Amino acid sequence: MSLGRALAVGLVGLSAEIVEVEAHLGKGVPALFLVGLPDAALGEARERVRGALEACGLELPKQRTVVNLSPADLRKNGSGFDLAIAVALMCAENADGAWRARRAVHIGELGLDGRVRPVRGVLPMVVAAVAAGHRDVVVSAANEREAALVPGAHVHAIEHLSEILRVYGVEVGEGIEWEPLALPDQLGSTESTEDLADVIGQPEARRALEVAAAGGHHLLMMGPPGAGKTMLARRLPTLLPDLSDPDAVQVTSIHSIAGRFAPDGGLIRRPPFEAPHHTASRAAIVGGGSGVPMPGSVSIAHRGVLFLDEAPEFPAAVLETLRQPLEGGEIHLHRATASARYPARFQMILAANPCPCGGAKCRCAPMDVRRYRTKLSGPLVDRVDIRIHVPRVTRAMRALDERHEGSIAVAARVAEARARAAARFAELPWSVNGDAPGSWLRRALVGEVRAPLERAVDEGRLSMRGVDRVLRVAWSIADLRGDDALTIGAVGEALSLRGGEGDA
Ligand SMILES: Nc1ncnc2c1ncn2[C@@H]1O[C@H](COP(=O)(O)OP(=O)(O)O)[C@@H](O)[C@H]1O
Ligand SMILES: [Mg+2]
Ligand SMILES: [Zn+2]
């Protein structure tokens, strides 16, 4: 009996684990068995590996062969194990370089022609490999730049299986030729080219964006079509600070798994902006799909902005699912086949028209308007601290406007305000006002600002939840002003950023 070994990486959600691939060649009828919880894609691996080896002038061992992937309890999916399986099979035949194959991590799908294809999620896989002490990683040339983003990784990029087999001392056929791999699609940079300076007028909405950016507050914008809601929402990321190093790796990993990352510009450093359409599938929005669930928009928006345009048009079930990430910052996707969890801590912007038709010359039945608006109440909207009306810009307003402050200037104020909040919360488990719990807010509620809020509650103009929201926003206003305490002015402005959307 002979034994071949190679390493691969299994990925479930964002957690990656080293997988050892062992090929046992023993007595018996020639056949190839794959064991260790393979899913459908892994079953197909057998055919791809056979084809790829033939393309190298090789064939499957003429013995009873068992390929075992361990740990057995790790849910393995996808086609990224092909390369390691082929290497383990060939190195079982006493190749000189077999010891090297046992130490290197192999990540790649094989084509029937032997080409090594890129896979998704290479970044978190290589991060895990290096963390586990395996610096040598073999990947498809199309994944090279992504793998190379991981500090400490020794990336060996190949186009064809025969290249790595030669390295390991396996004798492959002569004159193997292949078409060069098509490079992955340019996905364009996630860097926004938008700027707040593009927005004419709308002083209140600009201010709301600034306060929302300072405190990480969720925001609801209500207004007629064409008022500029979408335009404003797209500019929130331009006001937010760069991602920290760990966040950049995590965000980039999610985008890599989702197949939404082009590594040319390095790690994703800017907060993402994700705007799923209301007709998008639930799996696209919250995550899912067959096999190990894929991340959805809520995770792609992690550490960035999730924009739900025409929010009342989203299915109630989808809106309902957003509660989990809004509360816990992550989403658990349970499937019969496998479960995964992905981070999903985003800043949410909801936009809505005043009624289903858009409102200019509204002919909606009062019932329909009510139903439409009810979609924007309840637990989801409870978490939205800032609610504003965005009117259409009139000619008069345009003429009045002289100040077109750009994103850089606003982002600088936001950064200062965030630093002030982070210092205040240094010993606490949150760092932005939008995450401050009611208990903390109310304990800190002392001095001149207490009376007016109490009066509003007594008179039924404000609920206790409403008080919490006003306080959160007031702290962000104070941070922007450079104040160390809440003032009547800050609370007054916070009250005005609730847009008179009732008190819900
Ligand atoms: N305040 C504004 N400044 C500059 N352009 C605006 C403004 N408001 C709207 N527009 C323009 O009008 C169009 C519609 O705006 P949009 O953001 O899609 O509105 P909404 O999302 O409220 O329907 C956009 O193409 C945008 O360029
Ligand atoms: Mg719009
Ligand atoms: Zn209407």
Q: What is the pLDDT of residues 179-237, one digit of tens each?
A: 887 765 555 555 568 999 988 888 999 999 999 999 999 999 999 999 999 999 999 99
* Index of the ligand 1 atom closest to the CA of residue 200: 3
Instruction: Report the separation in Å between the CA atom of 358 and the middle of ligand 3, taken as the mean of its atom positions.
Output: 5
User: Comparing 5 with 461, which gets the higher pLDDT?
Assistant: 5
- Find out whether the beta carbon of 200 lies less than 6 Å from any atom of ligand 1: yes
- Contact call for residues 138 and 107 (beta carbons, < 8 A): yes
User: What pLDDT score was predicted for residue 187?
Assistant: 53
393 lines ligand 1 (CB under 6 A): yes
Buried residues in 168-196 as b, exposed as e (16+ CB within 10 A):
bbbebeeebebeebeebeeeeebebebeb
Q: In the chain, what are the domain boundaries?
A: 2-167, 196-424
Q: What are the tokens at 55?
A: 């393309």
CA 361, distance to chain mean position in Å, is 40
Q: In this predicted model, what pLDDT tens digit does every residue of 326-383 receive, in sequence order? A: 999 999 998 777 788 999 999 999 999 988 888 778 888 989 888 888 888 777 888 8
Cα–ligand 2 centroid distance for 140 (angstroms): 41
**Which ligand has the minimum distance to the alpha carbon of residue 205?**
1
Q: What angle do CA 377, 382, 383 make, to 5 degrees?
A: 135
Q: Is the CB of 306 under 6 A from ligand 1?
A: no
| Mean of the per-residue pLDDT values of the chain | 88
Distance 229 CA to ligand 2 centre (A): 5
Among 231, 309, 402, which residue has the most ligand 1 atoms within 8 Å of its CB, making it the best to mutate? 231
Give the pair of three-digit tokens for residue 117. Answer: 């294809």
Per DSSP, the three-state class of 140 is: strand
Q: Prior bond to 71 cis, omega within 30? A: yes
Taking 3-state DSSP, the helix, strand and coil percentages for the chain, each rounded to the nearest 5, stand at 40, 15, 40
By alpha-carbon position, which residue is closest to atom 17 of ligand 1?
228
pLDDT at 431: 93
pTM of the model: 0.89
Do the beta carbons of residue 11 and residue 125 sit within 8 Å?
A: yes
380 CA from centroid of ligand 3 (Å):
23
DSSP string, 323-347: HHHHHHSEEEEE-SS-EEEEE---E
The CATH number, out of the four listed (3.40.50.10490, 2.40.50.140, 3.30.230.10, 3.40.50.300), of the domain defined by the range 196-424: 3.40.50.300
Give mean pLDDT, residues 142-156.
Answer: 94
What's CA 180's distance to the chain center, in Å? 31
**CA 220 / ligand 2 centre spacing (Å):** 13
Q: pLDDT confidence of 92, banded at 50, 70, 90?
A: confident
Nearest atom (ligand 1) to Cα of 227: 22
Which ligand is nearest the CA of 225, by number?
1
How much is the pLDDT for 100? 84
**Nearest Cα residue to atom 11 of ligand 1:** 228
| CATH ID of 2-167, from 2.60.120.260, 3.30.230.10, 3.40.50.1370, 3.30.70.890 | 3.30.230.10
The phi, psi pair for 294, rounded to 5°, reads: -90, 155
Q: Do domains 2-167 and 196-424 have the same CATH topology?
A: no
Closest Cα to atom 6 of ligand 1: 228
CA–centroid distance, residue 40 to ligand 2 (Å): 42
Closest atom of ligand 1 to CA, residue 233: 17
CA–centroid distance, 233 to ligand 2, in Å, is 9
Ion ligand 3: residues, CB < 5 A: 355, 357, 362, 364
Give the model's pLDDT for residue 335.
Answer: 78
Tens of pLDDT, residues 113-127: 999 999 999 999 999
- The pLDDT of residue 399: 58
Q: Is the CB of 360 under 6 A from ligand 1?
A: no
Hey, whose CA ends up nearest to atom 24 of ligand 1? 228
Please list, in sequence order, all residues whose beta carbon lies within 8 angstroms of the beta carbon of residue 93, skipping any fewer than 6 positions away. Answer: 2, 4, 25, 61, 170
